[in-house]
Amino acid sequence: AQRVTQPEKLLSVFKGAPVELKCNYSYSGSPELFWYVQYSRQRLQLLLRHISRESIKGFTADLNKGETSFHLKKPFAQEEDSAMYYCALTVGGTSYGKLTFGQGTILTVHP
Amino acid sequence: DAGVTQSPTHLIKTRGQQVTLRCSPKSGHDTVSWYQQALGQGPQFIFQYYEEEERQRGNFPDRFSGHQFPNYSSELNVNALLLGDSALYLCASSLAQGAGYTFGSGTRLTVV
């Protein structure tokens, strides 16, 4: 069975500092990896997905199949980045496959 | 477009009772998935409905059942409620042909 691990429950950085949210997964095949974000009092929303290889709000994530990781990075954190971040994977397609989530990391960006 | 709409937003039930939660998918979406999110945890997949049938199911007991209607809306039913069923229940809709999930705000269920 697939599994997603986010080792940090809490992460604090200062505005302008680089930030990296870690995500490791276990699955023997080729999963699709996602980062979802939940801002305060808002619903869960997709931040980015590895197959699109795009940068959203300055965030990027590279899939490392050798290390089975999909860490989320941003070179200069902003206060508005403070939120709960979930790493998730699916197998079998974005609609057919269930999403398996990690436990989440609360990112706090201090002024 | 209101996106995914869930009702009610909050609910308090007594142990042993039954509950029904409702979800209206985003306009144009035909697939509905349900997730349970316990406090401090990531969402866990319950099941997914497409063309009014359960297409995939997670590791949840038969007390959890669902339904999808011809207009693509969906219900989640939980029988014989346990204290451990207290959680945020999220609905997510998508297109069978891809493009990712859109989540609702959830229903907060408290079992006392």
Q: Residue A95 is nearest to which of B45, B90, B98, comparing CB atoms? A: B98
What SS3 state is found at A93?
A: coil
Contact of A108 with A94, CB cutoff 8 Å: no
Contacts of residue B5, defined as CB under 8 A and 6 or more positions apart, other chains included, come to B23, B24, B104
Encode pLDDT of B57-105 as tens digits. Answer: 999 999 999 999 999 999 999 999 999 999 999 999 988 666 678 999 9
Encode pLDDT of A42-99 as tens digits. Answer: 999 999 988 777 778 999 998 898 999 999 999 999 999 999 999 999 886 555 678 9
Encode pLDDT of B18-55 as tens digits. Answer: 999 999 999 989 999 999 999 989 999 999 999 999 98
Q: How far apart are CA A39 and CA B100, in angstroms?
A: 19
**Residue B77's Cα: distance from chain center in Å?**
9
How close A77 comes to chain B (CA, Å)? 23
Neighboring chain B residues of A21 at a CB cutoff of 8 Å: none
What SS3 state is found at B84?
A: helix
Find the residue in A nearest to B47 (Cα).
Answer: A98
Cα-based distances in Å from A52 to A60, A62, A75, B70, B74: 11, 11, 20, 32, 30
Best of A37, A54, A95 to mutate (most B CBs within 10 Å, chain B):
A95
Find the residue in A nearest to B57 (Cα).
Answer: A98
- Please give the pLDDT value at position B99: 60
Helix (H) and strand (E) counts for chain A?
Answer: 0, 11
Contacts of residue A42, defined as CB under 8 A and 6 or more positions apart, other chains included, come to none
Encode pLDDT of B3-17 as tens digits. Answer: 999 999 999 999 999
Torsion sign over Cα A47, B27, B10, B19: negative
